A = this chain, B = another copy of it.
């Protein structure tokens, strides 16, 4: 049995024309504001990828770059400025923020109507409920669109999510649950990880640990979605984060022969996350 490669770059390319058409159908081109504090290299690289994709589909991306000496109050004031600015349709606060800032208070400052990342309370409750009109956080929507492209349905399947973060693990679990999967969430305190992951028809890994899932932890024929984006400094250049090598949470070479389908890293969920972000923005504009 040959393994299907879930090729995020190819799907992104396939979805691009339709996205560009959706943008053209809007009364005016949308603008996404990305607020960055400080100059983490990986954040800068991710933002560059977003700007580049925005250009391709006719979306303006306004990169608001603030010094890491900014106070919480000043940052919230800046976000409120974006909230009030009718020429800005979506707002992203690039995470992580410097430790001194209260990430929760800052993400809550985003107007829910412009909350492209779906991190405000308003958005969280909606995606958790699984409302039809709920937007999903970009990574989750990226996985959703990737599965949809390959016609992989979660209905009645055993989905195992490794990771329980508010950014990735929890929204992915809620999504799969709302898609009628039976969902198990594992994490660092799971007693027997392999026993759990081997039961997965669909294994979604968002542990943030390079090469964490090996062949012993995967059932023959399982669909393996690797959400891990671990950057290893000083290695060869890759397209998602320049100047760093990206590796996933799954040991691709070991797992690929066993899996029924698998995402590579880079080139799997990463490119889909960028697509999903702009899908969210366009949905916001169409409301």
Interface residues in chain A, defined as those with a beta carbon under 8 Å from any beta carbon in chain B: 120-122, 124-125, 128-129, 155-158, 164, 166, 170, 173-174, 177, 180-187, 189-191, 196
Contact = CB atoms under 8 A, between A and B. Distances in A.
A53 B166 CA distance: 36
Contacts of A156: 189-191
Contacts of A189: 155-156, 180-182
Contacts of A129: 166
Nearest to A190: B182
A92 to B, nearest CB: 18
B191 A185 contact: no
A125 B122 CA distance: 8
- Stoichiometry, copies per complex: 2
A186 B166 CA distance: 21
Nearest to A176: B185
Main secondary structure of the interface of A (DSSP, over half): mixed
A181 B155 CA distance: 24
Contacts of A196: 182
Nearest to A131: B104
Given A177-B185, A182-B190, A183-B184, 4 more contacts: A121-B125, A158-B191, A177-B187, A184-B184
Given A125-B121, A125-B125, A166-B128, A182 B182 contact: no
Contacts of A191: 156-158, 182
26 contacts: A120-B121, A120-B125, A121-B125, A124-B128, A128-B166, A128-B170, A155-B189, A156-B189, A156-B190, A156-B191, A157-B191, A173-B185, A177-B185, A177-B187, A180-B187, A180-B189, A181-B189, A182-B184, A182-B185, A182-B186, A182-B187, A182-B189, A182-B196, A183-B184, A184-B184, A184-B185
